[in-house]
Structure 1
Amino acid sequence: MSNDLYRDCARLFMVGFPGPRIDDDFATLMDDGLFGAILFKRNVGTAQETAALCREIKSRADRPFILSVDQEGGRVARLRGEPFTPLPSMRELGQRQDLALVERVGRLLAHELRAVGFDWNFAPVLDVDTNPTNPVIGDRSFSRDPDEVARLGVALARGLEAGGVASCGKHFPGHGDTTTDSHLTLPRLPHDLERLRRVELVPFRAFAQAGLASLMTAHVLFDALDPKVPATMSPRALNGLLREELGFDGVLVSDDLEMKAIAGHYSVEEAAVQGTLAGVDLFLVCHQADVQRRAIEALVRAVESGRVPRERIAEAHRRLARLESRFAHGPEDRLATLGGEEHRALAQGLASAFSGKDPTEVMLASRRA
């Protein structure tokens, strides 16, 4: 396999690594051409430690290198503790039905993420909270009303992007009505297309029309679209429904290929190849270096054999380059902006909106708790 082709295929991957330092496996993959990395709780520490790690990664890459994180608010937040602002769940935020407030939350998230070195936030959740027994979405969703999820999800994303951080709506075509968790098993939705268009797809249509940066696929079987493979691997779901019907032309990123919904039913190699053919531009492989390497090598072989056209790789590169040109930041030193005037104004305004009390006292109390 040629080095150029390997780098071309490696660019379609974003990986995780084990701890708070760059290890040898991650360093080698960086050199091989990865698009970026996703950081988890295992990687981050204090704001100072997290900022130092992000600067180290970007300096070592010596090229645009996107760093991403899941910082939704509520129970899904990798960055916690002072000086990061504690945020309510999206359900609680959604109950306010306040568009300006939600956009302010997006701007606050962007400010805090930029301060420590992140370029891309895997938020907002666009799943509609239609199933009270859903074990994985629940209060991560803004509402049971698809129009409210659309309205507020777009507002949060606009706030993020106005603050210089790429947004990512998730999980297309909708994970809200499942009864199982795709981290653990492969969920299935039996709804027909009419129901999907009326409920699940409403927020994703609004997101596409707003021209926002990216969407994430769901590892869910949708019987009306493709009963044999999950949406992440389905041309009908991604190229047909999302690209052609909804008109989305941003970056399409997979959920983690190591989740049991994929790993328990398909090989990571086949998932990467089928996902590329279906329309995925970037794959998350979040844990094991050998799995990350196998996925890249499988895509290289598929291009060499002609199964995956080189134009499909080039198309993904064009979308990734567009996101990179807008949101990739170098190894900046912005840590001092945490606690600065802009940060305090954003955070205090949010605290005041939720309590009706003095915003400074609310923030101090939340940090003491």
Structure 2
Amino acid sequence: MNTPAPPHTPDPPSLERVVRGLFLAGWDGHTLSPQVRQMLEAGLRGVVLFAKNIQTPDQTAELCSAIHDAHGPHALIAIDQEGGRVARLRDGFFVSPPMATLGRTATPEQLHDLGRLLGLQLKALGIHLNFAPVLDVDTNPDNPVIGDRAFSADPQRVAECGTALAQGMQSVGVAACGKHFPGHGDTRQDSHLTLPRLPHGGKRLDIMEIPPFQHAIDHGIASIMTAHIVFESLNPSPEDNTPATLSSEVIQGLLRTAMGFDGVVISDDLEMKAIADHAPIEDTAVRAVDAGVDLMLVCHHPDLVVRAVDAIVAAVQSGRLSEDKVHAAHQRVERLATQYRPGLTTPETREREAQELAELEARFAALFGSDPAATNDPTDALGA
């Protein structure tokens, strides 16, 4: 009697492919560039879209389809669709008012439904990761980059609003990302342009900055984005200029251990001047993974991803960076990409979701209006 052959077990991915899976890249253009296509085929986790990539709903859907075709079923396509002035999708799309407007007027139930609206809008295009909600607390009127992107100056209100929006998005299969941990709301400088510092001690952070993130974590938010900000009290010494994105004290000590977050930690764009002006991408990428970042954004120059991947591989091979850390990050990203991915719905479900989306758009347009005039987006050319 013939014994059936054991099922074929695919070879494990190479270290290079695993490391490529820790990056999202950005590029200029309305179609998928040959370079990024090749990178996706070689294991790049996915892309982050900006207004520079988007023309119409049909064009955006075709672009997303090409990205998924190049990578496979576990590609991640990410976007900043907060509402107000930070909304990459505009012409032909519903755009919600700024979060500050919603923070003053909306109920948690309305924000949950708005999250469903945003999620259904993105999901219909093939986008499954939204860099929202902003969980920063708007405590500094001189803040040049947060302002009306935050729900409120009250941390409890930010917690309530942000978690409701995140849960709404995730209820329809789009991963939410709370940002910018541990908090960008009190800075006087823009981390796209320089490296801000905050002196706040642990007591202040526990009262003001941390509660919105803790509330979102306790209610299952899928991912958290780090801030390129020096938190002096969280570093080993006041002279330490390590930003949160590169700090194991912030990511492993505070976010993972103290706050219990086991989802995906995402860096803000590694091309932002707060990071890029202080070290080459090779050093930054190695330090980010070593600190506990799982998924890194390189939003404008794909060549930098190639350099960063080579540096991480070399750091593992030399013993500078633990291979276990690399694989742990890859596993967390893979888990998110598996949970939030296209192809999980039937035609009947898609038809039902399209009907719900149309109903929600009509309801929210009547309730809050749309915000098409808010096109002054300071982050679109710079990062998230």
TM-score by length of 1: 0.92
Deviation at 1:31, TM superposition (A): 2.2
- Paired residue type of 1:299: I
The CA distance in 2 between the partners of 1:259 and 1:167, in whole Å, is 22
What's the offset of the Cα at 1:72?
0.4
Partner residue in 2 for 1:137: 146
Match of 1:162 among 162, 168, 171: 171
Aligned residue type for 2:126 = G
Check if 1:13 corresponds to 2:23: yes
What SS does the corresponding residue of 1:236 show, helix, strand or coil?
A: helix
- Number of corresponding residues: 356
Of residues 25-34 and 37-46 in structure 1, the stretch that sits farther from structure 2 once superposed is: 25-34
Residue equivalent to 1:44: 54
Q: CA deviation at 1:3?
A: 8.0
Unaligned runs of 5+ in 2: 1-11, 374-384
Work out whether 1:281 is the aligned partner of 2:291.
Answer: no
1:127–1:149 contact (8 Å) kept in structure 2: yes
Partner of 1:352: 366
Per-residue CA deviation, residues 205-233 of structure 1 (Å, 9 max, x unaligned), is: 11111121000000000000123210000
Deviation at residue 352 of structure 1 after TM alignment: 3.2
| Structure 1: gaps of 5 or more residues | 355-361
Say if 2:87 is the partner of 1:77.
yes
Residues in 1 aligned to 2:366 and 2:152: alpha-carbon distance in whole angstroms:
22
3-state SS, counterpart of residue 265 of structure 2: strand
- Rounded Cα–Cα distance in structure 2 between residues aligned with 1:308 and 1:338: 48
Distance in 1, matches of 2:120 and 2:195, equals 36
| Counterparts of 2:229 and 2:169, CA distance in 1 | 27
Q: 92-101 vs 245-254, which deviates more?
A: 92-101
Percent identity, please. Answer: 47
Say whether residues 1:54 and 2:64 are aligned partners: yes
Cα distance, 1:333 vs. partner?
Answer: 10
Task: Summarize the alignment of residues 314-353 of structure 1 with structure 2, pairs less than 5 Å apart.
Answer: 314-330=327-343, 340-353=354-367
Instruction: Answer yes or no: is the 8 Å Cα contact 2:87–2:95 preserved in 1.
Output: no
SS at structure 1 position matched to 2:132: coil
Deviations 1:177-198 (A, max 9, x none): 0001110000110111110111
Counterpart secondary structure, 1:219 = coil
**In 2, Cα distance between the equivalents of 1:49 and 1:242?**
38
1:218-275, CA deviations, whole angstroms, 9 ceiling, x for partnerless residues?
A: 0000000123210000000000000000101100000000000000112211111111
Deviation at 1:353, TM superposition (A): 2.9
Cα offset, 1:81, TM superposition: 2.0
Q: Deviations over 1:22-68 (max 9, x none)?
A: 22221221122111111111111100000011111111223421111
Q: Is the contact made by 2:120 and 2:353 (CA closer than 8 Å) also made in structure 1?
A: no
**Corresponding residue for residue 178 of structure 1:** 187
Q: How has the CA–CA distance of structure 1 residues 3 and 244 changed in structure 2, closer, same or farther, with 3 Å as cutoff?
A: closer
TM-score where L is the length of structure 2: 0.88
The aligned counterpart of 2:326 is 313
Counterpart residue number, 1:28: 38
Any idea what SS the aligned residue of 1:80 has?
Answer: coil
Whether the 8 Å contact between 1:14 and 1:285 is mirrored in structure 2 is yes
